[in-house]
Amino acid sequence: MKLMLLGPPGAGKGTQAKRLEDAYNIIQLSTGDMLRAEVASGSDLGKEAKEVMESGALVSDELVIGIISSRIDQDDCQKGFILDGFPRTTPQAEALDVMFADKGMTLDSVIEMKVDDDAMVERITGRYTCSECGAGYHDSFQKPKVDGTCDKCGGTEFTRRADDNAETVRSRLEAYHEQTAPIILYYGDKGVLKSIDGMAGIDEVTAQLKEVIG
């Protein structure tokens, strides 16, 4: 099964993709996570992407298309995946079509998570992850059961993304509306787009996703 989640930063794509991984035994492909791993490793690609990411702008189409194309050739992707954060521009969506055609793959569902922009700044600036296992938390909406201890692995170290600050979030939302929102029409015109209410609670959003995925 090949799924794609669309929506602005903070819509819950990553949170839900992790839940869909378990539900459908497929893997999350987040270009943001892949780029952050490159930045952390200090690779040339990471060096190229770091500043752009910290400004809230999009890195070049060429760079992310290259990353995703080689990633979906790997063995663990053959049973299926959830695209999270890719494509983000019309040229990326067009390149994905070519990639899928070349590899004989088809997309099962493209799902737009509809949210209010105003709520995204609070969602994003309050989020953090366990440094050990990557589990996601939020200062207001999803606290660990025991303060300072990860529910999943017991880890006590947490990290916040460098671009999850109010100023950068606004640039990221702007980039979304200017460069990414048009691809919703692209998939709408193809007749493969489904929409769900991303403002609902986390469990309710998962239930809606499972319903539209079928």
Q: Would you tell me which residues interact with ligand AMP (CB under 6 A)?
A: 9, 31-32, 35, 52-53, 56-59, 64, 85-86, 88, 92, 163, 172
161 belongs to the catalytic site: yes
Residue 112 has phi, psi (to 5 degrees) of -90, 125
Contacts of 1 (CB under 8 A, 6+ apart): 24, 26, 80, 108, 213
Among the listed residues 13, 36, 50, 123, the single catalytic one is 13
* CB 146, min distance to ligand AMP, A: 27
88 belongs to the catalytic site: yes
* CB 15, min distance to ligand AMP, A: 12
Residue with Cβ nearer ligand AMP (74 or 149): 74
Residue with Cβ nearer ligand AMP (73 or 211): 73
* CB 9, min distance to ligand AMP, A: 5
172 belongs to the catalytic site: yes
Residue with Cβ nearer ligand AMP (89 or 148): 89
If 0-12 CB within 10 Å is exposed, 13-18 middle and 19+ buried, where does residue 48 land?
middle
How far apart CA 95 and CA 83 sit, in angstroms, is 14
Q: Which residue's Cβ lies closest to ligand AMP?
A: 32
4, containing H or E segment: strand 2-6
19 belongs to the catalytic site: no
Q: How many CA atoms lie within 13 A of 1 on its CB side?
A: 18
Q: Which two tokens stand for residue 141?
A: 């909406």
Residue with Cβ nearer ligand AMP (136 or 144): 136
Q: Which two tokens stand for residue 97?
A: 């079509």
Which positions are catalytic? 13, 88, 127, 161, 172
